């Protein structure tokens, strides 16, 4: 192929310089033309629709960044003053409600009718009035068992809940540097660090050397459940709606039962248990977990096929798993019934990344179960029977494929996943009828 002589000549005459070349016939405003056309648009709608998107300042523009943060902080402080009720204001609201009580039932329930509710609305402060509206009374009356009346405690509980949500939203928004209603992982870590002194059950026992591990464990649960697609940020409204923040702030109460500690992921006993398991698995004490070390997790019967896929799909460092990746793994296996955990596990099961599981996929993971069946000299299991049972449980739309949505919808996802990845779960499922018979025999005795 011959090169055009004119191109060769131009290339030879090309001068390389560190200075910006002056191009002939170059219109400097050409690149800004589309922007200027938008700003100077004459379409009628531009007169009635105001500009509603303002791009956040770039990271290099420190002056605008500082101005934005200061304005955001002042706005949140004003919202706090205008909307949040302190203890005195809440006590005053309850006193006013009791004074205007319409009826007391034989069971001691205090009720209020709409006429007396209007009196309360006039008597309370303007700040309280933002919570008690006619719309609220109508909504509560729909769920009230007393025609035309609402329980006082329902009104007060609603107000308390609303105040708490507003307080939580404002508190979290202080850590939203961008001001778009999202928190990044670093923002969430800063929030947790700042509230640790207010958590009576944590501040009294957490050591400075362990604080980073505690914060990491707490933040990981928020992002595991609220950011399953790994976008790197979670919405503040999702944090408030999830109930996770409520679970965390329960640790402010100094007097709580030991049972509540065991079921609260954020409690110090729970965090120490997870961290202790990680240290116990780390046989070579290098701070990371190899595939062989992770094989001892839980019952110690996770199949080698499943573990291979975990290390294929999850983030590792030189073929070993760090503490953050281990936390995702633990949360997925401990909450197999949750959609977020199923999303995590389905990604591992979907060997070919097709978005669905086939008979071949099921057989691939069943090989891991077969290895352990042979290891304990147990009776062989027919794969065809197991495959039919799985498809019967899932009831997938396509009789030859199982999608993530099929698993979520079937209500049997925890069982299906467990019998494919863990031998002792598979064996318990395979011998479930015998277990039920023994349980019945014990009840009869």
Sheet holding 149-151, edge to edge: 103-104, 110-113, 149-151
159 vs 153: CA distance, rounded Å: 10
Tokens 């170059």 -> residue? 26
- Torsion angle defined by CA atoms of residues 11, 12, 18 and 20, in that order, rounded to the nearest 10 degrees: -50
Residues near 115 by beta carbon (within 8 Å), at least 6 away in sequence: 102
Number of Cβ atoms within 10 Å of the Cβ of 369:
25
Domain boundaries, given as residue ranges, for the chain: 83-167, 185-333, 342-444
Tokens 């999202």 -> residue? 182
User: What is the pLDDT, as a whole number, of residue 32?
Assistant: 47
User: What is the pLDDT, as a whole number, of residue 444?
Assistant: 53
Tokens of 162: 């609303």
Q: 342-444: same fold as 185-333?
A: yes
User: What is the pLDDT, as a whole number, of residue 194?
Assistant: 94
In the chain, which residues have pLDDT < 70?
Answer: 1-42, 256-261, 434-445
Burial 84-109 (b: 16+ CB within 10 A, else e): ebeeeeeebbeebbeebebeeeeeee
Tokens 């191009």 -> residue? 23
* 3.30.420, 1.10.238, 2.60.120, 1.10.10: CATH of 185-333: 1.10.238
User: What is the pLDDT, as a whole number, of residue 438?
Assistant: 47
User: What is the CATH topology of the domain spanning 342-444?
Assistant: Recoverin; domain 1 (1.10.238)
């Amino acid at each position: 192929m011959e090169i055009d002589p004119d191109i060769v000549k131009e290339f030879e005459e090309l001068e390389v310089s560190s200075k910006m070349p002056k191009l002939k016939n170059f219109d400097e405003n050409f690149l800004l033309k589309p922007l200027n056309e938008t700003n100077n648009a004459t379409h009628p709608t531009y007169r009635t629709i105001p500009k509603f998107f303002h791009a956040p300042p770039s990271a290099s523009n420190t002056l605008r960044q500082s101005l934005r943060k200061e304005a955001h902080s002042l706005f949140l402080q004003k919202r706090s003053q205008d909307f949040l009720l302190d203890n005195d204001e809440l006590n005053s609201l309850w006193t006013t409600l009791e004074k205007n009580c319409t009826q007391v039932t034989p069971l001691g329930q205090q009720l209020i009718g709409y006429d007396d509710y209007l009196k309360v609305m006039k008597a309370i402060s303007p700040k309280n009035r933002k919570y008690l509206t006619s719309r609220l009374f109508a909504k509560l009356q729909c769920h009230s068992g007393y025609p035309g009346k609402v329980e006082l405690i329902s009104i007060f509980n609603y107000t308390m809940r609303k105040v708490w949500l507003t307080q939580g939203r404002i508190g979290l928004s202080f850590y939203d540097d961008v001001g778009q209603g999202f928190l990044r992982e670093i923002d969430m870590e800063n929030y947790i660090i700042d509230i640790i002194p207010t958590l009576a059950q944590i501040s009294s026992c957490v050591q400075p050397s362990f604080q980073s591990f505690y914060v990491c464990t707490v933040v990981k649960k928020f992002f595991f459940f609220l950011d399953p697609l790994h976008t790197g940020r979670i919405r503040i409204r999702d944090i408030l709606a999830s109930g996770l923040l409520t679970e965390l702030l329960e640790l402010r109460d100094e007097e709580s039962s030991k049972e509540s500690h065991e079921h609260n992921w954020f409690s110090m006993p729970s965090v120490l248990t997870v961290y202790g398991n990680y240290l116990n698995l780390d046989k070579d004490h290098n701070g990371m977990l190899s595939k062989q070390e992770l094989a001892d997790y839980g019952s110690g019967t996770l199949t080698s096929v499943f573990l291979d896929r975990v290390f294929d799909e999850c983030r590792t460092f030189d073929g070993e798993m760090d503490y953050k990746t281990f936390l995702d793994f633990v949360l997925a296996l401990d909450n197999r019934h949750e959609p977020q955990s199923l999303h995590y596990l389905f990604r591992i099961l979907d060997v070919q990344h097709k978005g669905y599981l086939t008979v071949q996929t099921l057989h691939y993971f069943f090989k891991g179960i077969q290895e352990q069946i042979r290891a304990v000299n147990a009776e062989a299991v027919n794969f065809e029977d197991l495959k039919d049972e799985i498809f019967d449980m899932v009831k997938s739309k396509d009789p030859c494929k199982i999608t993530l949505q099929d698993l979520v919808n079937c209500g049997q996802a925890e069982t299906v996943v467990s019998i494919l990845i863990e031998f002792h779960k598979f064996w318990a499922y395979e011998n479930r009828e015998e277990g039920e018979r023994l349980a019945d025999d014990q009840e009869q005795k």
